[in-house]
Amino acid sequence: MPARPIELKGRPLAGGQLPAVCAPLVGRTRSALLAEAAAVAAKAPDLIEWRVDFFEGIADTPAVVQLAGELRQAAGGIPILFTRRSRREGGEPIPLDEPQVLALYCAVCASGSVDAVDYEAANDPALLAELREAAHRHGLALFLSFHDVNGTPPLGELVQRFEQAEKLGADVAKVAVMPRSERDVLVLLEATLQASQKLRVPVVSMSMAGLGALTRVCGGAFGSALTFAVGGAPSAPGQLPIEDVRAGLALLRRAAG
Strand ranges in 4-158 using DSSP code E only, listed in sequence order: 7-8, 11-12, 20-25, 47-51, 80-83, 116-120, 141-148
Residue type, 155: L
Cβ contact 232:23 at 8 Å: yes
Residue 158 beta carbon to a second copy: minimum distance, rounded to whole angstroms: 14
Residue 155 beta carbon to a second copy: minimum distance, rounded to whole angstroms: 11
Residue 129 beta carbon to a second copy: minimum distance, rounded to whole angstroms: 34
Q: Say how far apart CA 93 and CA 86 lie, in whole Å.
A: 8
Contacting residues toward a second copy, per CB under 8 A? 1, 182-183, 185-186, 189-190, 193, 210-211, 213-214, 216-218, 221-223, 238, 240, 244, 247-248, 251-252, 254-257
Residues taking part in catalysis: 147, 174
Q: Say how far apart CA 10 and CA 139 lie, in whole Å.
A: 10
Which residue lies nearer to a second copy by CB, 79 or 232?
232
Cβ contact 116:140 at 8 Å: yes
Which residue lies nearer to a second copy by CB, 114 or 176?
176
Query: For residue 165, what is the enclosing H or E element?
Result: helix 155-167
Which residue lies nearer to a second copy by CB, 121 or 245?
245
Query: For residue 230, what is the enclosing H or E element?
Result: strand 226-230
Which residue lies nearer to a second copy by CB, 107 or 209?
209
Which residue lies nearer to a second copy by CB, 44 or 247?
247
Residue 164 beta carbon to a second copy: minimum distance, rounded to whole angstroms: 23
Residue 194 beta carbon to a second copy: minimum distance, rounded to whole angstroms: 9
Return phi, psi of residue 230, to 5°.
-85, 120
Q: Say how far apart CA 227 and CA 214 lie, in whole Å.
A: 11
